Amino acid sequence: MSLKAQITEDMKTAMRAKDAERLGTIRLLLAAMKQKEVDERIELDDVAVVAIVDKLIKQRKDSIAAFEQAARQDLADKEKAEMAVLLAYLPARMSAEEVTAAVQAIVAALGAKGPGDMGKVMGAVKAQLAGKADMGQVSAAVKAALAG
Domain count, the chain: 2
Q: What is the CATH number of the domain that holds 81?
A: 1.10.1510.10
Return the C-alpha torsion angle 108, 110, 111, 113, nearest 10. -90
Specify the pTM.
Answer: 0.72
CA distance 53 to 9: 16
Q: What is the CATH number of the domain that holds 102?
A: 1.10.10.410
Shared domain for 107 and 71, answered yes or no, is: no
Shared domain for 40 and 102, answered yes or no, is: no
Shared domain for 55 and 107, answered yes or no, is: no
Q: What is the pLDDT of residues 65-122, one digit of tens each?
A: 999 999 999 999 999 999 999 999 988 777 778 878 888 888 777 776 777 777 777 7
CA distance 35 to 4: 14
pLDDT value at position 74? Answer: 94
Q: How far is CA 145 from the centre of its chain?
A: 23
Q: What residues make up the domain containing 137?
A: 96-147
Q: Is the confidence at residue 141, as pLDDT, over 90?
A: no
Shared domain for 14 and 78, answered yes or no, is: yes
Q: Is the dihedral of CA 124, 127, 129, 131 positive or negative?
A: positive
Report H helices in the chain: 3-17, 20-40, 46-69, 73-87, 96-110, 118-129, 135-147
